[in-house]
Amino acid sequence: MANRAVFVDRDGVVNSCVVIDGRPFAPTELGDFKILPGVSEALLKLKDAGYKTVLVTNQPDLSTGKQTWKGLNSMHSALSQRCHFDLIKVCGHVNQDRCTCRKPKPGLLMEASLELDLNLSESYIIGDRWSDVEAGRQSGCKGSFFIDYGYAEKRPSGRFTTVKSLKECVELILGDSSVL
């Protein structure tokens, strides 16, 4: 029987990001990598309720040279010690690469679905950018959550639920599913 999952974007959802001129940027060094309050506890609640937790993150700084795999892996190692994701999926491409894994395309979610035997129609995605919501839609997720920080960029379209934090998403997922 297939598992259900909650796909979680990294920067702005799990950890803080730097916002410059209304646009979010990922930390590039372990010293700048700060997990947001309540994230570990929220993810544990999902796991206790039977959900797989999967981190899905675009990290284009790998392609542009602003980030190294070694640096990224050190951040993800620190993250894994506190958050215990079932799987971490990374796209290191830039838009010009036209890959199938970079959100808003559903590749990361589809790969995770195969690796963990996931039922996407019973799964959710949580993100802070339009591309996260779109990846959830394209992969057939049951619901998409948008943490709205008011970034100066494109907004999501279609069906999604706007929230203020990962904690609020988890409360909605585990509580009244009629809001989805």
CA 140 to chain centre: 16
What residues does 137 pair with on adjacent strands?
Answer: none
* Token duo for residue 100: 């199938």
- Note if 48 is an active site residue: no
Quote the CA–CA distance of 130 and 120 in Å, as a whole number. Answer: 19
* Token duo for residue 17: 């990001």
- Could you tell me which residues come within 8 angstroms of residue 60 by beta carbon, excluding any fewer than 6 positions away? 91, 92, 93, 94, 95, 102
The residue type found at 15 is N
What is the distance between the terminal CA atoms of the chain, rounded to a whole angstrom? Answer: 24
- Note if 9 is an active site residue: yes
Quote the CA–CA distance of 175 and 173 in Å, as a whole number. Answer: 6
Residues assigned a catalytic role: 9, 11
